[in-house]
Amino acid sequence: MELLSFDLKAAPLDGFDCSILEINTERKQLLPLGLTLTGDGLLAWLKSRIIPRNREFVDRILAVYGLHHNNILGIIKLCFGLSLNDSYWVVPDGFKGKFKDCNLYENHFEKTLSLIAYTGYGSVRPGAFSSSPEFTTNGNLRKSWRRINGKIMLYKGGSSGGANTGNEPYSEFYASEIADVMELNHVAYGLAKWKGTLCSTCELFTDIDHSFVPAWRCFKTQKLSEIAAELKKKGDAFYPPFCDMMIFDALTCNTDRHLGNFGLMIENKTNRPYAFAPIFDNGLALFPFAMPDDFVKLEDYAQSRAPVFGASFDELAKAFISSRQIKQLHHMLDFHFTRSPKYNLPAWRLKALEKFLRKRTRDLLENSNL
């Protein structure tokens, strides 16, 4: 169904001018959460939908189709704005195609483009439409969506260029183990090598009927205390899992929990939130950039790590811990990692992390005042 129509025109000095032509008032409640119904608001929504400028290999991905990052209209025309986050699309006026024939949940991906997105190499014969989620996937690290045994899987590499880079996939994998032990609602991660590069792997947690909307779209504020208050109003499907995530981050010293990697799950038919999203994107937990010397005094190094929100991880833990999280932490008192069959961090590093996590668990429990 059509929710609104708009006009998007190139403006040589300003990029693009966007104007809303008509809104389907009977279906207004189905418009994207957080969308401001002005020309500038819609343009901001379109900009946020396309591949980010800092994504690895972004220029290579777009160059295949003769595009550059500023060409919002060209990118949207190419991929119809289709995403694996939700079930919206953006099509030309008078378009006769059907969503069931184009959506990314039920149709094939351009395999060669997935390869380019991950390696930077390959060639594609450009067409009028490209069936690929790469044009609307956020994040700066190399990554690619693939269909494996009937499942939609994200393959995500690590950083590169330094002696302390490339460990993010390990952090995803081992943090997932911790979330398992704590019995949290989270996305499960594995490890693999694709095209010679280590990557984390995880299954898509949305589908054609259920969307993920990041916190920066769901809430009008960027203050964590105000977001927490809003989630508390929404009830038990929202606030307790949010607190679970905050304690999990405090335990693992995840320095990259931001408004883009947590949020709400939406039932598409009603456009209403029904749950807090599972915990995902933990690549900066467990000190991926720490050098061997940092592990000599790991607790001191941990004190130098800070969250995106709040003054410290300890302060976040005090603010959000409850008897529910106390119970979860008790599962970590004698924690040991289960090694991957193929790919692991050095044994000394894992043992140091295990020791740290057990001590960190005790400290969080003792400081909880519960």
- pLDDT score, position 129: 66
- Backbone angles phi and psi of 26, in degrees to 5: -70, -20
- pLDDT score, position 128: 59
Helix axes 239-252, 224-234, angle to 10 degrees: 140
- pLDDT score, position 70: 86
CA distance 65 to 124: 8
Residue 25 pLDDT > 70 = yes
Residue 159 pLDDT > 90 = yes
Q: Tell me the average pLDDT across 220-235.
A: 96
pLDDT tens per residue across span 72-97: 989 999 999 999 999 999 999 999 99
Q: Quick one: tokens of 43?
A: 């343009």
- pLDDT score, position 52: 86
| % the chain with pLDDT above 70 | 98
Does pTM surpass 0.85? yes
| CB-CB contact of 173 with 47 (8 Å) | no
176-183 LR contacts (CB < 8 Å, sep 24+):
176/282, 177/337, 177/338, 178/248, 178/251, 178/252, 178/332, 178/335, 178/357, 179/248, 179/279, 179/282, 181/331, 181/332, 181/335, 182/244, 182/248, 182/328, 182/329, 182/331, 182/332, 183/328, 183/331
Q: In terms of Cα–Cα distance, which of 273, 151, 258, 259 is closest to 212? A: 273
- pLDDT score, position 119: 87
Element (H, E) at 227: helix 224-234
Domain ranges for the chain:
210-366
pLDDT tens per residue across span 269-314: 999 999 999 999 999 999 999 999 999 999 999 999 999 998 899 9
Element (H, E) at 268: none
Average pLDDT value over all residues in the chain: 94
| CB-CB contact of 254 with 287 (8 Å) | no
Residue 319 CA neighbour count, 13 Å, CB half: 20
